[in-house]
């Protein structure tokens, strides 16, 4: 799966998930997905704004996480995923990646 298809899938899942109550930014290679879940629904854009939690990774790593081939904790510990901001919020993101 290429980056465009992966980002489209992430957008679709975020829109069909209950509001997350915060803002999250995914920095995936050269792409940004910003999710504002502070309102009645998750609003997805590709604007590069400050967020409560920023997750930086590669397309390959995100695919491994989605497929269950990589444990999220091992990805963070191994430096494949970097989390800045609210770590507790990052732990709630399983619904967006499944």
Give me the domains of the chain, ranges plus CATH numbers: 3-88 (3.30.1050.10)
22-50 per-position pLDDT tens digit: 999 999 998 888 999 999 988 888 899 99
52-86 per-position pLDDT tens digit: 999 999 989 988 988 889 998 899 999 999 999 99
Do 53 and 71 touch, CB atoms closer than 8 A? no
**pLDDT at res. 18:** 86
Tokens at 91, concatenated: 């732990």
Give every strand in the sheet of 53-57, ordered side by side.
Answer: 43-45, 31-36, 23-28, 53-57, 82-85
60 phi and psi, to 5 degrees?
Answer: -60, -45
Do 49 and 55 touch, CB atoms closer than 8 A? no
Evaluate if residue 96 carries a pLDDT over 90: no
Angle at 46 between CA 42 and CA 47, to 5 degrees: 100
């Amino acid at each position: 799966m290429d980056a465009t298809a992966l980002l489209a899938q992430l957008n679709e899942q975020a829109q069909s998930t209950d509001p997350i109550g915060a803002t999250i930014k995914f920095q995936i290679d050269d792409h940004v997905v910003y999710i504002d879940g502070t309102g009645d629904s998750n609003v997805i854009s590709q604007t590069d704004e400050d967020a409560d939690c920023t997750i930086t990774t590669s397309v390959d790593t995100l695919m491994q996480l989605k497929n269950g081939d990589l444990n999220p904790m091992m990805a963070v510990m191994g430096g494949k995923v970097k989390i800045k901001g609210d770590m507790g919020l990052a732990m709630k993101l399983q619904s967006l990646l499944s």
